[in-house]
Amino acid sequence: MAYDAFFRTVFASMDPERAHERAFAAIRLGGPVLGRVVDVPPAPRTVMGIRFPHPFGLAAGFDKNARAVPGLLALGFGHVEIGTVTARPQPGNPRPRLVRLVDDQAIVNRMGFNNDGAAQVASRLHRFRRRHGDAPVVGVNIGKTKVVPVEDAVADYVESARLLAPYASYVVVNVSSPNTPGLRDLQSVAALRPVLAAVREEVGDRPLAVKIAPDLADEDVVAIADLALELGLDAVSATNTTVERPASLRSSAELVRAAGAGGLSGPVLAERSTAVLRLLRDRVGQRLALVGVGGVSTEHDVRERLDAGADLVQAYTGFVYGGPTWPSRLARAAGAHGVVAARRTGMGEA
């Protein structure tokens, strides 16, 4: 409640990207202190061959450049997925490029993969690993450089993978952002196959996932699941933001129109993201790990994704509206759910 009042009186009147930068700076600087005061009971599970302290983590988009990982982990996230990182540094789309729909606890973003580039982020991760070792789970989400033509996407993704995989707990191929021209075209199986095959070869034994959009037709979701199995991927992440503007949005039509183009995130995404997750689990059984992401805002949402078949759950927009105590609350819910499920099945560690 205190953070909600603070958000509405301070952050709500501030440019969203500026508010993000201020919050980000506070997390980055406050990591050592946070590590001494935030306590999340361990609820370990092994997914993709990686030991996670609990199933709840931060989705890509918040820390694009691996600059605040210790502080984010200290807040209670069990893992942090950084990025999206591209092979070349790029400034992203012109501002304003981040809009809040407060009545829906939602965000419209058209950031455009603004990041420091794979070489710089790899150097930062290298320093992080030297200081903290391999135990902290840090995934790296990679995307296509905007100026690189779609026909050259394979080499572009491979370059990012080559630089970043040595320091990543796992790698995610992002072909589902709506903010890079032509990127979502790579979700067709014909276009996606060479990208995933090449990155799979480049990263070797490093766990590899693909992140898909909620706007795919069900048959396309199934086709990507089959491709992931064929190529030996380790996971599918479902889902990214949506380009749809559902009628269920509570914000006024005028405000939604004024927000403009970009990916919509927030609770309005939950129903479709969960449906995609269930569809994937029905298709792949236990042969792939699944990451449930998109519209996760409450403890109930975490439990629902785990019940729907997610091995891990991630969120980002809920963090913006929930504040600094939100990660630990959802982490406790995820951990408690895992303990109950393990007892129910008699499997011990999930």
Residue 130 labelled as part of a binding site: no
Residue 167 labelled as part of a binding site: no
Residue 266 labelled as part of a binding site: yes
Which of 305-311's residues contact partners 24+ apart within 8 Å by CB, and which partners?
305/274, 305/277, 306/55, 306/334, 306/337, 306/338, 306/341, 308/274, 308/277, 308/278, 308/281, 309/277, 309/278, 309/280, 309/281, 310/55, 310/277, 311/45, 311/47, 311/55, 311/235, 311/350
Residue 215 labelled as part of a binding site: no
210 strand-pairing partners? 173, 236
Backbone phi and psi for residue 101, each to the nearest 5 degrees, phi listed first: -115, 85
User: Could you tell me the CA-to-CA distances from 239 to 104, 212, 233, 278, 305 in Å, in that order?
Assistant: 18, 5, 17, 12, 12
Residue 174 labelled as part of a binding site: yes
Residue 62 labelled as part of a binding site: yes
Residue 113 labelled as part of a binding site: yes
Residue 2 labelled as part of a binding site: no
Pair 115, 177: CB distance under 8 Å: no
Q: What six digits make up the tokens of 21?
A: 């930068």
Residue 111 labelled as part of a binding site: yes
d(CA 75, CA 88): 30
Q: What six digits make up the tokens of 294?
A: 């998109």
Pair 46, 207: CB distance under 8 Å: no
Residue 112 labelled as part of a binding site: yes
Residue 141 labelled as part of a binding site: yes
Residue 211 labelled as part of a binding site: yes
Residue 110 labelled as part of a binding site: yes
Catalytic position from the list 160, 169, 176, 177: 177
177 counts as catalytic: yes
Q: What six digits make up the tokens of 170?
A: 């796992």
d(CA 64, CA 291): 19
Residue 240 labelled as part of a binding site: yes
Task: Give the other-Cβ count within 10 Å of 190's Cβ.
Answer: 9
Residue 295 labelled as part of a binding site: yes
Q: Which residues contact 169 (CB under 8 A, 6 or more apart)?
A: 50, 79, 134, 136, 137, 138, 139, 207
Residue 146 labelled as part of a binding site: no
List the binding residues: 60-64, 84, 109-113, 141, 174, 179, 211, 239-241, 266, 295, 316-317
Catalytic residues: 177
List the binding residues for substrate: 64, 109-113, 174, 179, 240-241
List the binding residues for FMN: 60-64, 84, 141, 174, 211, 239, 266, 295, 316-317
